[in-house]
């Protein structure tokens, strides 16, 4: 349901995917264009001849593909521009003679076909297949879901990826998520405490990764309070091969309250008094940490 | 607070030494190496404890220097002092294994705890560093490579701009500057990486662009070729006129034409009056002759010359390719152009996305902003403190300086950037222009003033060979000032000057010979 390609597909790419789709002997494929591979004036989508089992709904208004042998009709529309602020008419066509009706819809945010969940559910479709968001997400059980990307596309596409398998029975639609991607991007927060050295952190991260699964790809966020004397020099490749990034968000483990008590009248105490009530993630708090560290390092004696 | 009694059980060279300390000026006189500094260090150790260094540093730190050789287990002492009208007693054992500190009030026997900061409270919150920076006066220590003026400036800055404590403001700001630079370097590296990516994409897209152009050129020439082929073919196919159509194939000039020409040529002979008819007849027949001759020439297929034949043989097959093949080629090239154009627009899109600011960049920017904010705030606070402390401190330091120098310098002025100068007879004299002795006196005055301002309760003053650079007059003034302003002064000296001066001034003092 949209964005089969991240950009305008090339003809040879369409040929490849067409070949792969054509190999599906028992499956009918219905697809639309999304905001990334939208139907531009010269798009190959407009002219490409798909195999017989592939049905592309190219209109920017609701179109329908019917499969009488399956008892299913699939409705959907394609993007003709990069954005689509207005939702086209989505009412279930009255002439649909099939017992099961599915709507394919790409978008959901402000710039891309914004919708309200309740309104969509009221349209009368048996299932609404959503696309656009990379993370799999069920909006309404058995009625509406984002299937997410098959594989993580970006380092921030964390969590499991796969596809949704839906089955229509007497009781209605049953949708299952089938994990398919072998690797995930994972963000791990590693708590650092004041007693830890660089090597201890490195080993800790390795252990954590071993526990989580070495097949995944990690972004490590160091959190907590570090020994003010220590600078972690952690390069991802020195810690483990499957880390793309290590973000150091640790703060020096100064006991600000105690420091304040001891230095009420001098500049250190005043700096702490100015900033200590700010939020921990604020620039001001960070400024306090930096300032205190600089003053402490410059301490005489 | 006043110190009353020292009981040195085992410390440095002393064992079981008992010293009563009186109010007023207490002179510890001793020759070099007699143990004056040991007593001074003992008092400091009793008040603040002695930390043991680690590793190599431990070989000659205070702990090891004063550790007794014979009974290190008994490395200890007792200090009695009076504070707020009550007598207190501190017992400490500095030993490696038997480290212990006890504090109790002798008047009501209440046990206090050194660990939880009771002693520190009795001292008015004074820390070891502020002790070293105020009431315990040695000579102004000069760090290597730093002039006395700079050293004093730093020292004064500590009080004026940092509000006491042991901050080195300049150094701290330098640290922050370094930190900012480091963050900027990181940001730059990130931007460079992005730039590299952008350049790569740009290169790729310009390559695609060039290719599009090349293909378009090819397409154009191909179209020209096809056009000319078509024209040629048309010429070959439909270039013949009506006459050509009706002319028998093998005849270059149609027989009817010949007949017609003869008729037309002869016609004027009869129609046109003489003598003009001959002329017209000749002209017409000449015209006909030219036409016939022309026809014969066109029809004659020219034999190809040798070079022409060779040229034909080496011309590539493509050029001679059929129109159909050319048309197919044209289709292929326009398809390829379309493909490349799609690729090009995709690359452009990618570049647009690269323009967007990354999240890592934002984190770095925030860090940088934080450092900048810290610098800004520290400067602001330091200005504030400078003004606040400065006013009070300045007054007091000026007073002290005035009495020490007997009115020679009436004021001390601290300006922006900690530029210290003295006012003498309405003239401003920079710190660089005064003698070492005077710098020492300013140092002394700042310490005394700071101790008064920072601590409510009056504290004893410890002077360890402070007066080496003082002349006799100023020494007298200083001692007089101390006698008038301080309740308890402990002077450690290896000279007789102080004693003689005190005698001369008739200031009562207690002398303790250290040996």
pLDDT in tens, B302-325: 556 677 677 766 665 555 567 788
CATH, residue A138:
3.60.21.10
Mean pLDDT of A266-276: 83
Using 50, 70 and 90 to split pLDDT, how confident is the model at A129? very high
Mean pLDDT of B343-359: 83
Distance of CA B478 to the CA centre of its chain: 47
Pick from B374, B381, B383 the residue to mutate for testing the A interface (most A CBs within 10 Å): B374
Q: Is B82 on the interface with A (CB under 8 A)?
A: no
Please check whether residue A207 lies inside any domain of the structure: yes
CA distance A131 to A107: 6
Using 50, 70 and 90 to split pLDDT, how confident is the model at B94? confident
Closest CA to A55 of A73, A37, A35, A81: A73
At residue A280, what are phi and psi to the nearest 5 degrees?
-60, -25
B346 closest CB neighbour out of A7, A44, A274: A7
The token pair at A79 is 């993007």
Using 50, 70 and 90 to split pLDDT, how confident is the model at B152? low
B381 closest CB neighbour out of A9, A267, A289: A267
Please check whether residue A71 lies inside any domain of the structure: yes
The residue of chain A with its CA nearest to that of B131 is: A301
Residue B128 with chain A: CB contacts under 8 Å: 301
Distance of CA B142 to the CA centre of its chain: 29
Radius of gyration of chain A (CA): 27
| B164/A266 CB distance under 8 A | yes
Same domain, residue pair A175 and A205 = no
Please check whether residue A6 lies inside any domain of the structure: no
Strand segments, DSSP code E, in B307-460 are: 411-414, 420-424, 427-430
Please check whether residue A4 lies inside any domain of the structure: no
Same domain, residue pair A226 and A78 = no
Same domain, residue pair A89 and A238 = no
Would you state the pLDDT for residue B299? 54
Q: What is the ipTM of this complex?
A: 0.72
Please check whether residue A3 lies inside any domain of the structure: no
Same domain, residue pair A117 and A21 = yes
Distance of CA B385 to the CA centre of its chain: 26
Highest mean pLDDT among A184-198, A242-256, B260-274: A184-198
Q: Which residue has the higher pLDDT, B40 or A97?
A: B40
Q: Mean of the per-residue pLDDT values for chain B?
A: 81
User: Structural domain of residue A187, as residue ranges?
Assistant: 183-250
CA neighbours within 13 Å on the CB side: how many for B1? 26
Q: Is A14 on the interface with B (CB under 8 A)?
A: no
Q: Is A39 on the interface with B (CB under 8 A)?
A: no
Same domain, residue pair A227 and A284 = no
| B175/A298 CB distance under 8 A | yes
Same domain, residue pair A22 and A157 = yes
Please check whether residue A1 lies inside any domain of the structure: no
Q: Is the pLDDT of residue B288 over 80?
A: yes
The token pair at B265 is 């040529």
Sorted by sequence, the CB contacts under 8 Å of residue A251 that are 6+ apart come out as A224, A225, A226, A286, A289
Mean pLDDT of A244-271: 81
Please check whether residue A238 lies inside any domain of the structure: yes
Please check whether residue A74 lies inside any domain of the structure: yes
Q: What is the pLDDT of residues A205-246, one digit of tens each?
A: 999 999 988 999 999 988 888 887 777 778 888 888 889 888
The token pair at A277 is 């009530």
A286 closest CB neighbour out of B367, B378, B382: B367
Would you state the pLDDT for residue A231? 74
Residue B168 with chain A: CB contacts under 8 Å: 298-300
Q: Packing angle between helix B169-238 and helix A283-297, nearest 10 degrees?
A: 130
Same domain, residue pair A206 and A83 = no
Same domain, residue pair A74 and A200 = no
Same domain, residue pair A174 and A234 = no
Asked whether B440 and B510 are in contact (CB, 8 A), the reply is no
Same domain, residue pair A198 and A108 = no
CA distance B47 to A60: 85
Asked whether B135 and B461 are in contact (CB, 8 A), the reply is yes
Domain boundary among A229, A250, A271: A250
Same domain, residue pair A18 and A78 = yes
Residues comprising chain B, all counted: 515
The residue of chain A with its CA nearest to that of B126 is: A262
DSSP state of A132: S
Q: What is the pLDDT of residues A71-106, one digit of tens each?
A: 899 999 999 988 888 888 888 777 767 888 899 999
A294 closest CB neighbour out of B176, B363, B369: B176
CA distance B142 to B139: 9
B169 closest CB neighbour out of A267, A270, A274: A267
Residue B387, helix vs strand vs coil: helix
CA neighbours within 13 Å on the CB side: how many for B29? 13
Read off the pTM.
Answer: 0.56
Closest CA to B47 of B471, B459, B493, B504: B459
Domain boundary among A154, A179, A204: A179
Q: Is the pLDDT of residue B146 over 60?
A: no
Q: Is the pLDDT of residue B155 over 70?
A: no
Q: Is A221 on the interface with B (CB under 8 A)?
A: no
Same domain, residue pair A132 and A203 = no
The token pair at B435 is 């003698």
Total domain count, chain A: 3
Would you state the pLDDT for residue A31? 93
Residue A270 with chain B: CB contacts under 8 Å: 163, 381, 384-385
What percent of chain A clears pLDDT 90, i.e. is strictly above it? 28
Domain boundary among A158, A179, A200: A179
């Amino acid at each position: 349901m949209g964005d089969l390609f991240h950009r305008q597909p090339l003809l040879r790419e369409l040929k490849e995917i067409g070949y792969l789709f054509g190999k599906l002997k028992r499956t009918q494929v219905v697809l639309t264009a999304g905001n990334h591979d939208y139907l531009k004036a010269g798009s190959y989508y407009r002219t490409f001849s798909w195999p017989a089992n592939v049905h592309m709904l190219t209109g920017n208004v609701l179109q329908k593909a019917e499969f009488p042998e399956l008892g299913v009709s699939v409705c959907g529309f394609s993007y003709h521009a990069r954005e689509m602020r207005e939702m086209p008419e989505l009412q279930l066509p009255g002439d649909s003679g099939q017992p099961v009706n599915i709507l394919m819809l790409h978008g959901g945010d402000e710039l891309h076909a914004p919708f309200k969940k309740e309104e969509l559910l009221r349209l009368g479709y048996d299932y609404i297949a959503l696309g656009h968001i990379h993370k799999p997400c069920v909006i309404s059980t058995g009625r509406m879901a984002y299937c997410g990307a098959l594989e993580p596309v970006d380092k921030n596409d964390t969590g499991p990826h796969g596809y949704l398998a839906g089955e229509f029975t007497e009781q209605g639609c049953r949708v299952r998520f089938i994990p398919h991607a072998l690797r995930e991007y994972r963000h791990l927060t590693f708590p650092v405490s004041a007693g830890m050295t660089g090597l201890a952190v490195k080993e800790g991260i390795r252990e954590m990764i071993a526990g989580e699964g070495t097949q995944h790809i990690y972004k490590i966020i160091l959190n907590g309070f570090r020994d003010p004397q220590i600078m972690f020099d952690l390069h991802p490749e020195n810690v483990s091969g499957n880390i793309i990034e290590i973000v150091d968000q640790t703060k020096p483990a100064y006991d600000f309250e105690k420091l304040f008590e001891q230095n009420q009248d001098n500049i250190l105490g005043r700096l702490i008094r100015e900033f200590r009530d700010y939020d921990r993630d604020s620039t001001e708090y960070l400024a306090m940490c930096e300032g205190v560290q600089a003053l402490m390092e410059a301490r005489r004696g | 607070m006043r110190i009353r009694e020292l009981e040195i059980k085992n410390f440095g060279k002393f064992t079981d030494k008992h010293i009563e300390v009186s109010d007023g000026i207490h002179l510890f006189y001793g020759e070099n190496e007699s143990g004056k500094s040991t007593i001074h260090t003992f008092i400091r150790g009793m008040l603040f404890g002695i930390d043991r260094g680690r590793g190599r540093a431990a070989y000659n730190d205070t702990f090891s220097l004063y550790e007794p050789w014979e009974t290190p287990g008994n490395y200890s002492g007792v200090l009695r002092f009076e504070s707020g009208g009550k007598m207190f007693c501190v017992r400490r054992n500095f030993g490696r294994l038997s480290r212990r500190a006890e504090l109790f009030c002798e008047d009501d026997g209440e046990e206090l705890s050194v660990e939880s900061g009771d002693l520190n409270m009795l001292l008015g919150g004074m820390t070891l560093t502020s002790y070293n920076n105020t009431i315990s006066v040695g000579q102004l220590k000069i760090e290597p490579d730093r002039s006395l003026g700079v050293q004093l400036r730093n020292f004064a800055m500590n009080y004026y701009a940092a509000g006491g404590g042991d901050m080195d403001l300049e150094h701290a700001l330098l640290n922050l500057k370094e930190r900012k630079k480091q963050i900027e370097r990181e940001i730059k590296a990130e931007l460079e990486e992005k730039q590299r990516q952008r350049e790569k994409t740009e290169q790729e897209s310009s390559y695609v662009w060039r290719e599009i152009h090349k293909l378009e050129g090819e397409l154009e020439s191909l179209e020209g070729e096809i056009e000319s082929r078509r024209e040629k073919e048309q010429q070959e196919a439909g270039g013949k006129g009506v006459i050509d159509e009706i002319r028998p194939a093998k005849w270059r000039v149609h027989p009817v034409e010949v007949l017609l020409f003869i008729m037309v040529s002869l016609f004027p002979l009869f129609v046109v009056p003489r003598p003009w008819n001959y002329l017209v007849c000749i002209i017409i027949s000449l015209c006909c002759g030219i036409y016939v001759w022309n026809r014969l020439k066109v029809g004659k297929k020219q034999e190809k010359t040798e070079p022409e034949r060779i040229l034909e043989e080496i011309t590539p097959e493509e050029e001679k390719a059929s129109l159909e093949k050319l048309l197919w080629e044209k289709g292929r090239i326009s398809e390829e152009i379309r493909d490349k154009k799609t690729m090009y627009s995709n690359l452009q899109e990618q570049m647009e996305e690269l323009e967007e600011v990354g999240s890592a960049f934002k984190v770095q920017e925030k860090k940088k902003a934080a450092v900048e904010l810290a610098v800004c705030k520290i400067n602001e606070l330091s200005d504030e403190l400078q003004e606040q402390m400065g006013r009070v401190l300045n007054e007091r330091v000026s007073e002290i300086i005035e009495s020490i120098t007997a009115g020679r310098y009436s004021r001390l002025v601290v300006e922006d950037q900690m530029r210290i100068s003295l006012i003498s007879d309405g003239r401003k004299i920079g710190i660089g222009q005064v003698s070492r002795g005077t710098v020492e006196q300013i140092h002394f005055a700042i310490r005394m003033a700071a101790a008064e301002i920072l601590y409510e309760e009056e504290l004893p003053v410890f002077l360890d060979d402070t007066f080496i650079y003082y002349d006799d007059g100023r020494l007298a003034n200083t001692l007089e000032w101390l006698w008038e302003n301080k309740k308890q002064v402990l002077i450690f000296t290896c000279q007789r000057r102080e004693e003689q001066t005190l005698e001369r001034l008739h200031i009562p003092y207690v002398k303790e010979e250290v040996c």
